[in-house]
Amino acid sequence: MDSVVWSAACRRGAIALVASAVVASMTQAGVAAADPEPVTAASDRQEQVLSTRDGVVTSYVSYLLPLPADAPAHPAACDRVGYLRYRSVDGPADSADAAHIAIQEQGLGGGAQNSDSVAFNTVHSARAMGQQIEFWALGRRSACLDETEGFDYALRSGDYLDAVDYYFNGKPLDGKVFPGIKTSAELPVLDFMGLERVVRDQYEVMLAEVPEQAERQRRFVCTGISLGGLVTGFFADWDFDGRPGADQCAAFAAQDSIISSDPVAIQNTPLLHDITNALVSPAETVVQNGFRAGLLPRTFGPLPVIGTKGFLLLRLAGLAAHLDPDGESRLLAHIPHDPEMDTTLNYLFARSWSAFATNGADGTGTMRDYRFTNSALLGVLIDNNSSNFTLFQQGLGALAGGPVEEKTFPNPGSVTQIPLLGNYLRMGAGPQTRVAPTDRGALYTWRNYDDVIGVGYTAPAHETADTRDAARQLAMGSPYAYWETYFPLRVVVDIGAGYGGARSGELNGLRYHGMSRTKPNYAAFAQDSVVQAAVGALFPTPPSSTVVTLPGYNHVDTIGAAAVQNDGSPDYSGETLARFIRTLG
């Protein structure tokens, strides 16, 4: 009998223990569920409608989100963060009521205006499918330093030379004289605009617009173009109020990019994690101290092609092509010679190595020696059959009005057909045949992307972007420029350190890894870009990803393609992203 009583007592004790554990776990779950939602630090929401076209409203949304109190003196605009919001005219006025929101980080040097085409096209395609979604093209905090005064004035006056002369020839506008391009030493505030600031700004905006965690996780599709894809990978693995950034996203979308904070899987091996963190984190701290001490350049500065003047040149060329597309260009005649500008023009235009080495003194001449309409000059600078720099290239059309000759600098497009190595040679100047004008007396004009039938060195399938769109976007001043004036190199350094294994110091918020791979993924690769062949092959997307190749697209075309392609289809980038978003329910 004693054994029976003992057995029953044991059973009662075990049941009580289990019951206590269940009650405790339920209590803990209830407490967790009752935890208050994080509250954004952003305030003073402002929204300004910029345009309405073909059923899509574009507006500028900004929030007050001050930099830390110890930040150096800076314009008031640097205490605000914002984005370009694209939505259907018949969609919800409140973003929190949209079915989904694509929230996008920009590429290297790109402003929010960089993604105008893909944002519009994605919302437009979704609307045609019966979806009410939004697209937010985020602007980095450093956009507060953009040069916009001359562009805004010229867009009002209708004369692009107002802006050119303001920036290069001391012309006053409304009583103001351009003080000159800022040096690295004049930009200490960029030390406060690294990767942590970028991902934190994204989180705060998401929190402000959609306050409930469950709704953010259901609605947001987190995406990025080029370097913006890398930033999105870091966002996914960053700690925000005790949660990984991935918990703010329903899915991830890479636009000619990859989404990862750890592409070589260092964090999967504890020993490698410890070694790389011990080595790389202190090294990154040294570099950051170098920025703060003014020993390292904070921007690309005077670097040819991708420096401050190089990006300003592209924006001014777009402004000229937007305001006076068919007029003979006077842009270069109003830009003084200096080593930085002349080297930039020489690199983008040189026909051969001999031409580059002599700056056209071998008889081929420089870009300044030829006559172009403003549209043609823009094409020469950024078209995939003209420009010698792949980062700028778009399939805009073709030169007309005079004879042309194939370029061989830095390499002919045909070498990209070499097995194995060819794809990597795209990094220089792309895979397409490039040509240069040869008649200094002819006025070269431009055939738009949808008018290239019969041009021997290209085909309609590889012309994907409307010159008029590119010109309009490049011409924009405030609120966001197409190219940032002072892109902070600290962002690149932070990404490099994170990829190298740094997880402390400046990157101590990076507490997770691989979180984006736990969600649905979409990746769009441009056919004529190097990314899929090189980066995409080395760092595969998650096995369940939706992967598309955008036919005939260049890297920039991923976000800059025309709404209607030459085969009559909608922009493949916006269309396929909208279709992917539709699968999320």
Instruction: Give residue-wise pLDDT tens across range 386-410.
Output: 999 999 999 999 999 999 999 999 9
CA distance 520 to 517: 7
CA distance 265 to 33: 33
Residue 101 confidence (pLDDT) above 60 = yes
Write the CB contacts of 560 (distance below 8 Å, at least 6 apart in sequence): 114, 117, 118, 394, 465, 469, 470, 473
**Number of Cα atoms under 13 Å in the Cβ half of residue 558:** 32
371-372/443-448 β-pairing: parallel
Contact by Cβ (8 Å): 66, 78 = no
Specify the pLDDT at position 5: 32
Spell out where 371-470 has E strands: 371-372, 397-400, 404-406, 435-437, 443-448
Write the CB contacts of 388 (distance below 8 Å, at least 6 apart in sequence): 347, 348, 349, 350, 407, 409, 410, 428, 429, 434
**Cα dist from 506 to 245, 246, 494, 554, whole Å:** 17, 20, 8, 34
For the chain, the straight-line distance linking the first and the last C-alpha, in angstroms and rounded, comes to: 63
- Reported as a pLDDT band with limits 50, 70 and 90, residue 44 is very high
Whole-number average pLDDT of the chain: 93
Flag the least confident range among 2-11, 73-82, 220-229. 2-11
Q: Which amino acid is at 490?
A: R
Flag the least confident range among 114-128, 281-295, 317-331. 281-295
Spell out where 423-508 has E strands: 435-437, 443-448
CA distance 332 to 317: 9
Q: What percent of the chain has pLDDT over 70?
A: 94
Specify the pLDDT at position 439: 98
- Global pTM value: 0.92
Flag the least confident range among 16-25, 39-48, 218-227, 410-419. 16-25
Q: What percent of the chain has pLDDT over 90?
A: 87
CA distance 151 to 163: 6
CA distance 515 to 39: 23
- Angle, helix 116-128 to helix 467-475, in steps of 10 degrees: 120
Write the CB contacts of 532 (distance below 8 Å, at least 6 apart in sequence): 256, 525, 526, 549
In a 3-state reduction of DSSP, which class is residue 299?
coil
The conformation of residue 532, written as its DSSP 8-state character, comes to I
Instruction: Give residue-wise pLDDT tens across range 247-277.
Output: 999 999 999 999 999 999 899 899 999 999 9
Residue 21 confidence (pLDDT) above 70 = no
**Number of Cα atoms under 13 Å in the Cβ half of residue 476:** 24
Contact by Cβ (8 Å): 245, 494 = no
- Reported as a pLDDT band with limits 50, 70 and 90, residue 426 is confident
Specify the pLDDT at position 424: 77
Write the CB contacts of 549 (distance below 8 Å, at least 6 apart in sequence): 524, 525, 526, 527, 532
- Reported as a pLDDT band with limits 50, 70 and 90, residue 311 is very high
Specify the pLDDT at position 102: 99
> How many CB atoms within 10 Å of residue 198?
25
Nearest to 62, CA basis, from 474, 480, 477, 486:
480
CA distance 406 to 142: 39
Specify the pLDDT at position 13: 40
For 236-296, the DSSP string reads HHBEETTEEGGGG-SEEEEESS---S-TT-GGGSHHHHHHHHHHHHHHHHHHHHHHHTT-S
Nearest to 74, CA basis, from 196, 187, 195:
187
Instruction: Give residue-wise pLDDT tens across range 490-521.
Output: 999 999 999 999 999 989 999 999 999 999 99
